[in-house]
Structures are given as C-alpha cells and as structure tokens.
Chain A
C-alpha cells in the first residue's frame, strides 16, 4: 500500500450528504419524498415508461432530463423483445443502489476505489407466473449480488464496505422487506 497526500476522491460529496442529514433532522417534513414513474402500453407486452419528476425537500423537483425505458419480454415468451423484461429492470435497482452505496461509504471511510463491478442474478421458477404450480411463488426465490472491487483496502475493509452499503440501501430494504402495495383503478 502506498501512502500519498492525494485525498480520496470517488466523486461522492460526502459533506453534502452529512449536511443534508443534519438539515433534514431539524426539518423532517422536507425529508418526505415521493418517487414516480409513468407507463404507457404500446402493444402486446411492450410498454414505455418515463421518469422525470419527483417530490422532495418540500417542493416539486425535476431530473436534468426525462429518462425513458422500453419494457417488454424476450422472444421465447412469444414477445417482440423491445426492451428489458420487468424482472430485469427490478435487478437494475438494487445493484445500482448498492454500487452507489459502496462509493459513498468508501468515500466516507477514506477508501480510494479504482474499479467496482457487480453482477446481480435473480432466480425464478416460471411455473409460478404460469400458474402451473401453486407452491411456486411468482417472484424471485433469491437474489445474488457479486461485487468485484479494486481499491486500496484489505478484504475485511471491503467486506465491511459491502455490508454497510446494504445497511444504508433503500432498494435493498425494498426488496428484502415487505412493502404495502396498492394498485387501484383511476
């Protein structure tokens, strides 16, 4: 390990996050966020979703631009494969959230990252969604995330980094804990 005077820079503004924590502890109403996406059916199993605005810090907020997602199913499901399957998009959430967490926690702990790659896999028995076996659930039986991290840190430190990223992750919480879901007709 080389010791340099160069400050650790993973591109995460930790100070802004710590300041936000202090400010929002004093003004809890502003901490209440609503995240949104809108979806329009195209044809068959193909739909088009957009993400642009959300509510937070007591005001309506906007992303820099509108993000678009085509959602479909692969051809082996007799679909046209115009985009990732919804279950694949679900995998993008936790791995993106955990990777952001790894960078933020590393910054906070003074660990310089050189590269971080991750793969995420969800195991599913599709007899569940086909209604062919009532004992099989529709969703994933298990999700596995595997991180490869190149950084100036011991294996113990990296394990602690990955553990802490899970502890602080919104999406990890969403996929590991029950959430109340209401689906209504407008």
Chain B
C-alpha cells in the first residue's frame, strides 16, 4: 500500500502538463499510464491524421515548438514524438503499463494489482476513449462492415464498394475524402457541423481564432457551454493543399452529401430533410466569425498588411438530395461511424455524475468531490481547452486550485 499526494491519471499532453505544474509547486505527483506516454496517439489514431492546429500553436508549459515548420501540421508520429520528448523534458514520474481499475472515495486507487491512496486525483484520460455511436447503428444490416475512427487505419482495410460515412466533424470529412480518393464511392450523412476555412486573408484560421480572443473565451462566459462542449470539431484538415475538406470541395469530387441519419427500416437508411438548413446555419456561423475577424483586424490596424476580406461560396445542397439509401443492395459495403467520441471514466467510483453520466465540474474542478480534477476535455476552461495548447493554461489554473486545496487541508 502506498500513500501519495497527487495522482494524475494518463500521460497524454494534458496529464504531463499537469505533472509539470505540480512539480513546479513541489507537489510530487505520480502519473499512471495504462500504456506508454501518448498512448491514444500511438494506438487509436489513423496514420494519415495530422493535428488541426498549426505547429506554432503546439505549446505546453515550458515547451514551445522549435521545429523547422511552424506553419505545418503535425502528423500523428510527430505528435507521439513531441509528447514523449516533453515527458522526458519535464521528467514526468510516469508509471507506464499501469491500468487504473478503480478510483473511489477518499481516493483509493487500484492500479494493476496495487492500491494507493491519494489526496488529490487529476483525470487526464481525455475525451476520446470510446466512439459515440447512435442507437440507429443496431439496425445496420449484418452484411455491412462497420468501423469507427478508433478502428479505422486506411482505406485498404475496407471491402470494395460504397462507404457511408456518418458525421461531418474534422474526422468525418477527412475520412470521407481519404476513402473517396481510394475509389470507393462515399456518401456522407450529417447534421449539425462547424464550417471553417483552413486559411483566411493569408493566415491560418487558428491564428484568427487566437488573435480575436475567441479561443480564450472562458467557459463561464460562453452563452451555452453545454452546447459548446458537444460541438463537432471544425471541418478542417491539417494541410495547406487545396484539397480542403469543405463540403463544396467534397461534393465537387463526387462525394454525395445527405442529411442526418434518422433511422434504418428494413435495411433502408432514412436521412433528415433538414440538410439545407443545417448547411445554412454552418455558413451563417462561419460568416459571423469572419465578420468578427474582419472587425478585429480593422481595430488592430492590420487592414493594410493583410489581403482584403472576402467570403466563401455558400454550401451547395442539391435539391435532389436523396432521403433514403438502401443498405441491402450491395452498393454500400461499409458504414463508418464518425459520430464523435466519449470519455471512459467507468472505473471512477465517486458519485460525481449528472443524469446524462457526465462528470459535473466547474471548469475542471469537481466541486462535489474536493481534490478531484478533470483535464483535457473540450471547452473545459476556455475554447482552447479542446486543443493541445489549452492544457497549458488549464493545468496552471487547476494546479493552483489543487495546491490551495492541499494547503487548506493541512491547516
């Protein structure tokens, strides 16, 4: 049996940033990692994936990007190398191959065959442990191969034939594009989505999102934070090539776009007729942000320096878009559920969940269980929390809170 002050669960970028913040405060944490450092990046990401954020933005506490291509987008292998290098750099006390089986009140943690007691626990296992698959998936005919982004590697693993990709987040549009390029006709079914251009007025969109202050918006000032936390990722690809994964580009290459999947009856998938409005809303929201960006640029006096403002073509929806797709004809051989992810906190045995099973927290502070913290979740403390660099400021705020929690208990 072991006593420790703070346990950080998972050695991804967030857990390692937290480890560093705690070490800075002379709180010696232990970091429990089920696999190796950056485990999800090593085992559960398809090889062609690149970060959505440009390299210069991949900042962690005490570590800025120092490579040769600040405007590029890191491939998965480089993300793994960067996080592994960071773990060494901050001398993180990582226990690899250590699976947490249960964490309960008072913070008793069972990992592998050991038990340890901690005064504070930081959950840094992230938001993408399990695929979030809608119930309609149960009605997919058994002859169809089904995949999720966690099991997808490349188009070569798919049977020949058409592919129905469900969901138009960054993942959905990227995989739709990649699979379509492999010669398998793709139908992309989706509802609410976030449209953003890769670059605008000569700058990366993440430069604009940061410069305008949007990414720094605090969670408690966002109008509907629950919605913000569940938004699909923006339809971007980590590349500057004109193969922009914008819906208009996908349809120009022959991808068929259809509405949100509603149900499957006798093997026939039915899609929502609300596709035109879904696309109109995404266009409106993109333009609202571009207006904000232009206003900011004028105020900042950058109009002479930057190319002039412009707008992108509205998303074109064919009025003949089908409302049904028969999955029994053999034309479609694969369904890929790119419908998002959910965290796996099933091992957490502390009563801190809401009705929907989500951990209730106030900007990462799990107030109903003092000493428990959540890190590495979308819009946890700001909109930047969704991205790697968000962990830099989030870990600082939570480490400060954790430190004062430990101090107050000591008194």
Contacts and interface: CB of A to CB of B under 8 A. Distances in A.
Interface of A: 28, 142, 156, 159-160, 163-164, 166-167, 172-173, 175-178, 180
Contact of A178 (B262, B280, B288, B355): B262
B43 interface: no
Interface of B: 259-260, 262-263, 265, 270, 272-274, 277, 280-281, 284, 287-288, 319, 355
A103 to B, nearest CB: 18
B274 A156 contact: no
Contacts of A172: 274, 277
A22 to B, nearest CB: 12
A130 B103 CA distance: 65
Contact of B274 (A142, A159, A176, A180): A176
A178 B287 contact: no
Nearest to B285: A160
Going nearest first, the 4 A-B pairs with the smallest beta carbon separation are: A176-B273, A178-B262, A176-B274, A166-B277
Contact of A167 (B281, B319, B355): B281
A161 B259 CA distance: 21
A160 B284 contact: yes
A29 to B, nearest CB: 11
A109 to B, nearest CB: 12
A163 B284 contact: yes
Contacts of A178: 262-263, 265, 270
Nearest to B265: A178
Contacts of B355: 28
Which of A156, A163, A180 has the largest number of chain B CB atoms within 10 A? A163
27 contacts: A28-B355, A142-B319, A156-B284, A156-B287, A159-B280, A160-B284, A163-B277, A163-B281, A163-B284, A166-B274, A166-B277, A172-B274, A172-B277, A173-B274, A176-B259, A176-B272, A176-B273, A176-B274, A177-B260, A177-B262, A177-B272, A177-B273, A177-B274, A178-B262, A178-B265, A178-B270, A180-B263
Contacts of A159: 280, 284
Given A159-B284, A178-B263, 19 more contacts: A142-B319, A156-B284, A156-B287, A160-B288, A163-B277, A163-B281, A166-B274, A167-B277, A172-B274, A172-B277, A173-B274, A176-B259, A176-B273, A176-B274, A177-B260, A178-B262, A178-B265, A178-B270, A180-B263
A37 B263 CA distance: 26
A144 to B, nearest CB: 10
Contacts of B272: 176-177
Contacts of A163: 277, 280-281, 284
A178 to B, nearest CB: 4
A160 B283 CA distance: 10
Contacts of B284: 156, 159-160, 163
A180 B263 CA distance: 9
A87 B324 CA distance: 22
Contacts of B287: 156
Contacts of A156: 284, 287
A45 B299 CA distance: 67
Contacts of A142: 319
A172 B355 CA distance: 28
A166 B287 CA distance: 19
B272 to A, nearest CB: 5
Which of B270, B284, B288, B355 has the largest number of chain A CB atoms within 10 A? B284
A112 B284 CA distance: 21
Contacts of B263: 178, 180
A173 B319 CA distance: 18
Nearest to B274: A176
A92 B270 CA distance: 24
A159 B284 CA distance: 8
A19 B227 CA distance: 18
B278 to A, nearest CB: 8
A133 to B, nearest CB: 17
Nearest to A178: B262
Contacts of B270: 178
Contacts of B260: 177
Contacts of B280: 159, 163
Which of A159, A167, A176 has the largest number of chain B CB atoms within 10 A? A176
B88 to A, nearest CB: 46
Nearest to A140: B273
Contacts of A28: 355
A37 to B, nearest CB: 24
B375 to A, nearest CB: 25
